[in-house]
Chain A
């Protein structure tokens, strides 16, 4: 038995966990677990009905991704989010990469980059995002949750999925 490896998702959680908690996001899985391809994930939920998932797949897809938004649970086909964090960020004038290349071996640098992007975009997004914003990015053919649900579940997809209830900030106050 060699020393236990630290998963990339756990590395991410160690530097991002407190920050995300301060924004109301609670860790909802075990980021220390790595899959057969050395892939790992840290995903978080908030009481506003939003989720954020950071996936690290160094072998199977050689990329990391950040998913964000309402949580879509597709019957038999797993869990998805409104779209990538980059799709939401773009609506608020913040440019983020859609994926992060994992062919490089500097894991610490990668994790730091992912966290920096989350840190610099999420407060802005959370303070301004509306249900309309989420529906817009969910309909996007590129990584949107709705086209994926339609592909996987067919035309009456809405009867086979659950979408988390999003609580919008009342800006009239």
Chain B
């Protein structure tokens, strides 16, 4: 017990020092919240609506003296905040309860409300999220979840209700953030669109009509397309499905070289997506932010977009790289049996001075990245229910990738240069299923001074670190979730992606590359490049 003996020696010689330190810690009241907070519930002001007393469990260190004397030393005094509920289920913060009130509230019953510590507005101070008041019989089931913002600077501690409107905003803004086609896809899926165009009677190319119209063979038949899978609209000898059913309304236009149909149809059809079905602040956020996320080192003013986010949060967001990196996004729990764990490339502390240099991250640039982090964090606690553990785990892996992207950007040799990254297919395996040397993507990255997704180098083997060796069937989707988080982090920084496509000699196609292509489908800063036996990607399906 070498460590314990050392500690005893230290304890003897520095007993006074430890006690003094406990006094210093106790002065740090309400700096921010952490996982040591506890909630009790009861009615402090007797208005018939129960209140919440949040207090911090004291840190206690146990110190051994001469092997038989055990002395607990309190490092940090408990701190208390009261959330006073009114008849509208709105909470206000009382951060200075009296000693007598604290004594009363400590005797209240422990609340079953869930507490989560998270720096939701990315200001470098952890906030507290209170969820599921329905689990506590002291509260009505309609009491909404609450965010308790930690004090920073002149900002007081503040309670903000998580409303359905706030949930919609973050779900949709986050949805757009990770896939810029989000609104169009959702609108299409839900039928929230209509067509415009002038109604005209006459002959129309069948391909055009087939794009926008369906028909019925008779009143009782289902709607079908004008062309079936074997039809070619330009082949005179291949009569389209519709023309077989209604030959009088069809002709082959020899001059135009296409089949045509007669009828009254809309000319110059345009699809109008009915965005009024979405949260309007989320739509406005996306419209305001879209230009900035499409340009390298955009100089677009982030203020309007960030203000949408801050209004929804009900609190100001942070403004420095140090704020941004104070709390990394939540680390995923490894799948059971996973070994070895992929090495997390720790964020350097203290933050290197260059990180706050305007040449590295100007305030507008920082704010764009910060807005992305707020969206991710907010969605962690707001968008998804705690019931779906699998979804939550995927989300954590997503965040993990996002943090890696941030870390990768910070570690570049020239952090002021535009961010470049490589995507493409790796080498895969040989015919004995042995993983081939991972050369192609790292060498492309070296060539273009670009970043690439890696788990780092395993210090034991000197090789690319493995994700896990246990063959958990979930590994693939966890890995993809991390990969897509990494892409999103880079997109938030307007990175240019050098796409080296498929690797010609590979046995079987990789699963991640089609998904990378899908995620970048609407992202303008992707350039296809040839590198080490590139093979053009023409189609593929993302299985995740």
> Contact residues of A with B, CB < 8 Å?
1-2, 5, 7, 29, 33-41, 43, 53, 55, 57-63, 65, 67, 76-81, 99, 103, 143, 148, 151-152
Contact = CB atoms under 8 A, between A and B. Distances in A.
Main secondary structure on B side of the interface with A: loop
Nearest to B544: A59
A35 B429 CA distance: 11
Nearest to A143: B507
Given A55-B432, A60-B508, A77-B437, 12 more contacts: A1-B336, A2-B337, A36-B466, A36-B471, A55-B431, A55-B433, A61-B508, A77-B436, A81-B431, A99-B508, A148-B505, A151-B505
Contacts of B468: 36
Contacts of A80: 430-431
A67 B543 contact: no
Most chain B beta-carbon neighbours within 10 Å: one of A7, A29, A37, A55? A37
B471 A63 contact: no
B433 A41 contact: yes
B486 interface: no
A58 B473 contact: yes
B428 to A, nearest CB: 7
B338 to A, nearest CB: 9
Interface string B319-339: 000000000000000001100
A41 B472 CA distance: 16
Nearest to B472: A38
Given A60-B511, A65-B508, A151-B505, A34 B470 contact: yes
A5 B471 contact: yes
A112 B241 CA distance: 42
Nearest to A3: B337
B336 A37 contact: no
Most chain B beta-carbon neighbours within 10 Å: one of A1, A36, A41, A143? A36
Interface in B490-544: 504-505, 507-511, 533, 543
B472 A78 contact: no
26 contacts: A1-B337, A2-B337, A5-B472, A29-B432, A36-B468, A37-B476, A38-B471, A43-B432, A55-B429, A55-B431, A55-B433, A57-B429, A57-B508, A59-B475, A60-B428, A60-B508, A60-B510, A61-B507, A62-B543, A77-B437, A78-B430, A79-B431, A79-B434, A99-B508, A151-B533, A152-B505
B479 to A, nearest CB: 8
B337 A151 contact: no
A18 to B, nearest CB: 22
Interface in B326-383: 336-337
A61 B511 contact: yes
A34 B335 CA distance: 15
A4 to B, nearest CB: 8
Contact of A53 (B431, B479, B509): B431
B471 A67 contact: no
A38 B469 CA distance: 9
A36 B491 CA distance: 27
Contacts of B428: 60-61
The 4 A-B pairs at the shortest CB distance, nearest first, are namely A34-B471, A78-B430, A61-B508, A59-B476
A35 B433 contact: yes
